[in-house]
Amino acid sequence: MARIFAHRGMSAIAPENTLAAIGQCADYGVTWFEADVDIIADGTVVVIHDSHLDRTTNRTGSIYDLQASDLENIDTGSWFSQEFAGEGLPTLAQLVELMNEKKLNGNIEIKSNEQGTERTYQLIDAVIAELEKLDDDREVLISSFNQLLLAELKRRAPHLRLGVLFSKEALGYDWRSIVELVGADAIHVDEDGLTREMVQIARSAGVEINVWTVNSRARANELINWGVDGVITDEAHTFIELESGR
């Protein structure tokens, strides 16, 4: 049975990577979501896709200049709809609380931090520390395009499950070697250009394959029939019945 992941939460009906968008997963029976995290100036891990505030908030500038005290005053909802005006920029700690409260499972994508090695290590350690607060019945999968980051995270927290993100340009014949060197459990691949043969190769190697970002219902159904393990979509609220094959 394939899983449906709500990409950045219920991003078609609520502002992406907000507690509102992720909390709505439970309302639609979606148990898995995907969200992006990075680290701000004081070491707080926040949930946001971009390293700049401009696209999804009422502020401009780099997230790397922020302190935790700034977060509640950042509006991440008005750009989407006035219904979500005042929605704050969430922390990973708040997200973990929401996962426990709503019984949600998460694919946490760690962004490729732009501030160098020391800050990347700080990000890795902070993510590990926050995820330790998840209830025992919660599941989490950590993904990133940064393979070195994932390998270091696995070294520090071997119990965590990892997924290597590949763009269609980066998915070469060496993917299996990369997965094994990283110590990953899954590959997350661009749906554009993915073939049935590629899915079968991954499955036969015992590697979980999750596909992003699939917003066509016909394509999602095709991929599920091919045997993918998960579909990451902006349309989770309408795709959820595909999870059980109904």
Closest CA to 154 of 178, 189, 118, 134: 178
d(C-alpha 78, C-alpha 164), whole Å? 33
For residue 124, CA distances in Å to 43, 101, 225 come to 11, 24, 36
Read out DSSP for 136-195?
TT--EEEEES-HHHHHHHHHH-TTSEEEEEE-TTT--TTHHHHHHHHT-SEEEEESTT--
Locate the DSSP E strands across 43-160. Answer: 45-47, 105-110, 140-144
Burial class of residue 47, CB neighbours in 10 A (0-12, 13-18, 19+) = buried
Task: Tell me which residues are annotated as active site.
Answer: 7, 49
Residue 122 DSSP class? H
For residue 111, CA distances in Å to 47, 50, 147, 165, 217 come to 10, 8, 11, 11, 28
Q: Which helix or strand (DSSP H or E) is residue 211 part of?
A: strand 208-212
d(C-alpha 244, C-alpha 165), whole Å? 25
